[in-house]
Amino acid sequence: MLEPGEVIARTEEYVRSALAGDRTGHDWWHVDRVRRLALRLGRDEGADEFVVELAALLHDLDDAKFSNSETASAAAAAAWLETLELDKQLVDDVVSIIAGVSFAGEATPDQALSIEGECVRDADRLDALGAIGIGRAFAYGGFSGRDMHNPHVGPHSGMTRSVYRSTESTTINHFYEKLLLLRERMATSTGRRLAEQRHQKTKAFLDEFLKEWNGAD
Ligand code: ADP
Ligand code: NI
């Protein structure tokens, strides 16, 4: 059986090469930030740090937006973990976290997760908020050829998973359709505190953007 440190080192190397060159918001540095944040939350919660780190590293290997299956990331993680011949319970714990991380629309409730899973999910969502989250949203919008803003296209509310996945929206609408909803969905206490700060920064940016757009600055 491999030592935990060796499992992490091999997984990190694998994920780095698998995500190299990604421009969809799931590049290696997103994964690295989520790993560091998830470990920070995990320490505050007394979570199993090995499970937290492994799940964080593998959480975006494949993404539902770019494949037909909502469970593609979990399947890709399972396939990798299989090659390491780990304890079956550990693999199941990590894979079920990855299957429950995604935000999939306002009307799609979050799955119940282990405390380790809550740390990874909170960390992933924190990286969608604040200065970095704003940067990622515009990078993603540019990558997918979307308008930054269109005053004639308003945000949708109450989206289900399939509507959320299939609706083309502007980057500014994404703030209303996802980013500003995340604060209410935090599960850990440190996550809630950081989300509150990042929410305020995100909201302040949005207000400023619309003020300038409308000539009200
Ligand atoms: P995560 O890695 O947090 O699960 P997603 O896979 O939903 O995030 O998206 C990757 C990044 O792209 C996130 O920062 C997210 O906010 C952003 N993003 C996703 N959909 C859109 C969109 N329609 N417009 C702008 N940004 C988006
Ligand atoms: Ni992610």
Q: Indicate the top mutation candidate among 140, 161, 202, 209 to test ligand 1's pocket, ranked by most ligand atoms within 8 A of CB.
A: 140
pLDDT beyond 80 at 69 = no
Tell me the per-residue pLDDT of 116-142, one tens digit each, with 9 for 90 and over. 999 999 999 999 999 999 999 999 999
pLDDT computed for residue 62 by the predictor: 78
- 99: pLDDT strictly greater than 90: yes
Q: Is 130 in the pocket of ligand 1 (CB under 6 A)?
A: no
Q: Is 2 left (phi over 0), alpha (psi -120 to 50) or beta?
A: beta
Per-residue pLDDT reduced to its tens digit, 13-40: 999 999 988 877 789 999 999 999 999 9
**∠ CA(150), CA(107), CA(137), 5° rounding?**
40
Q: Which atom of ligand 1 is nearest to the CA of 141?
A: 25
Would you say the CB of residue 133 lies under 6 angstroms from ligand 1? Answer: yes
Predicted confidence band at 66 (pLDDT cuts at 50, 70, 90)? low
- Measured in Å, residue 31 CA sits from the centre of ligand 2 at 7
Say if residue 112's pLDDT is above 90.
yes
Q: Is the pLDDT of residue 72 over 80?
A: yes
Task: Give yes or no for residue 124 CB within 6 A of ligand 1.
Answer: yes
DSSP codes of every residue in the chain: ---HHHHHHHHHHHHHHHHTT--SS-SHHHHHHHHHHHHHHHHHHT--HHHHHHHHHHTTSS-GGGSS-TTHHHHHHHHHHHTTT--HHHHHHHHHHHHT-----TTSPPPP--HHHHHHHHHHHHTTSHHHHHHHHHHHHHHTT--S--TTSPPP-S--HHHHHH----HHHHHHHTGGGGGGG--SHHHHHHHHHHHHHHHHHHHHHHHHHTT--
How far does residue 22's CA lie from ligand 1's centre (Å)?
13
Q: Say if residue 68's pLDDT is above 60.
A: no
Dump pLDDT digits (tens) for 157-194: 999 998 888 888 899 999 999 999 999 999 999 999 99
Place 73 in a pLDDT band, splitting at 50, 70 and 90. confident
> Atom 4 of ligand 1 has which residue's CA nearest to it?
102
pLDDT confidence tier of residue 70, bands split at 50, 70 and 90: low
- What is the model's pLDDT at position 204? 98
Q: Average pLDDT of the chain?
A: 93
